[in-house]
Amino acid sequence: MTSNDHGDALAQQVAAAADSGTPLRIRGQGSKDFLGRTPSGDVLDLSAHSGIINYEPTELVLTARAGTPLSELEAALSGSGQMMPFEPPHFGDASTIGGTIAAGLSGPRRPWAGSARDLILGVRLINGQGENMRFGGEVIKNVAGYDVSRLATGSYGTLGVILDISMKVLPLPEAEVSLRLDHGETEGFNAVEQAFRAGVPVSGAAHDGKQLRVRLSGTKLAVDAGIKHLGGEQDDDPATFWHALRDHRLPVFTDDGPALWRLSLPPMADIPDLPGQRLADWGGQQHWLRTDASPEHVFSEAARLGGHATCFHGGDRDGDVFHPLSPGLRRLHERVKTAFDPKGILNPGRLYAGI
């Protein structure tokens, strides 16, 4: 295991930036530069801060530096028959665990195995004053007071520079299959929900507008029973479709067109009434949509369905990318930002203007 700890040097850079009031743009390998509002500030480079610090397969815990590539972590885990349950998207060969956690990204397995935020045990980060701080730990029950580890997950670096991450890992499933079924979207996701409640080991459910795709993962006995329960045709390689969905290599992601939106909705919500090319994931709780509808229209429709929307790629990155905050939530965000980053130098405006 390697461990290149540049934490002290990075903390000194942040402290100097705080003293001078210089905004910092936190960056690993740049695979997620397209996310959020337009980045600004001097680059704080975390690419050299990499390596696995501690990995105990028997304890189901891994700790790594933020600049560690996902591919390196997956190789180490696979060698011990384990995986990151939240199935992080790669968006390129250089994608790192720090950027993944900072953006709070999870793949197709998320509704059934947990999100990135659910599986984080602890972090070490640098706040906006250049202080090196630790939160959480390397055991499951080690949270007292505010759970900063999870607060930092999905904060896009606006609260602190994530240095090290401890996370829960799980064994790889004994068996896995991918099924194709000729169900409509609503009918198909209802069938998946009923199958899951009946004990079928669902680990993925998506609909591309033509077919329902279902992945089953677990013991061979449970997977075989799930195949009998759901029916359908099996893919020759169960990983092909799901890796393409995870890493955004399907047509809805790669075709040229208008902005790509992500709508996060409650279970069993209605299908969004928006024009454009669409793919539904997470059993209908996440919709990927290419649409030329206005941001106001998309935000309004997501809110009507009880969810929220994010302009994931393209669009006006100087405007509202994330779902607008209510006045109360805005004040809460501002207070938390001020507590961690009083000078407002860390990824300023990456989430919301002025935060």
Average pLDDT over residues 33-44: 94
* The total number of structural domains that make up the chain: 3
Mean pLDDT of 137-141: 56
Cα separations in angstroms, 311 against 150, 281, 291: 23, 17, 10
Mean pLDDT of all residues in the chain? 94
Q: What is the pLDDT of residue 144?
A: 47
Of 190, 225, 246, which residue sits at a domain end? 246
Place of tokens 């399907």: 250
Q: Answer yes or no: is pLDDT of 143 > 50.
A: no
In a domain, 32, yes or no: yes
Query: How much is the pLDDT for 142?
Result: 46
152 and 208 share a domain? no
Reported as a pLDDT band with limits 50, 70 and 90, residue 139 is low
pLDDT of 141 higher than 70:
no
Between 256 and 179, residue with greater pLDDT: 179
Closest by CA to 280, choosing from 201, 227, 204, 172, is: 204
18 in Cβ contact with 128 (< 8 Å): yes
39 and 151 share one domain: yes
At 77-94, the pLDDT tens digits run: 999 999 999 999 999 888
Identify whether 133 is part of a domain: yes
Residue 153 is given by DSSP the state T
User: Are 291 and 184 within one domain?
Assistant: no
Whether 44 and 87 map to the same domain: the answer is yes
Q: Is the pLDDT of residue 138 over 80?
A: no
- Whole-angstrom distance, CA of residue 8 vs CA of residue 130: 9
Q: Which pLDDT tens digit goes with each residue over 171-223?
A: 999 999 999 999 999 999 999 999 999 999 999 999 999 999 999 999 999 99
Q: Report the alpha-carbon distance of residue 195 to residue 208 in Å, rounded.
A: 20
**Model confidence pLDDT, tens digit, residues 295-326:** 999 999 999 999 999 999 999 999 999 999 99
pLDDT tens by residue, 145-157: 458 999 999 999 9
86 in any annotated domain: yes
Spatial distance between the Cα atoms of 91 and 345, rounded to a whole number of angstroms: 27
Q: How far is 223 from 24, CA to CA, in rounded Å?
A: 48
Tell me if 20 is assigned to some domain. Answer: yes
- Confidence at residue 49, expressed as pLDDT on a 0 to 100 scale: 96
On whether both 51 and 118 belong to a single domain, the answer is yes
Per-residue pLDDT, averaged over 276-280, amounts to 97
Buried-state track 311-335, b at ≥16 Cβ within 10 A, e below 16 = bbbebebeebbbbebeeeeeeebee
Asked whether the predicted pLDDT for residue 241 surpasses 60, the reply is: yes
Residue 92 confidence (pLDDT): 85
Q: What is the CATH number of the domain that holds 206?
A: 3.30.70.260
Domain that holds residue 41: 7-171
Specify the pLDDT at position 3: 57
pLDDT at 59: 95
Domain harbouring 121, CATH code: 3.30.465.10
pTM over 0.75: yes
Q: Which of 171, 188, 216 is the last residue of a domain?
A: 171
Distance in angstroms (rounded) separating the CA atoms of residues 313 and 262: 9
Residue 350 within a domain: no
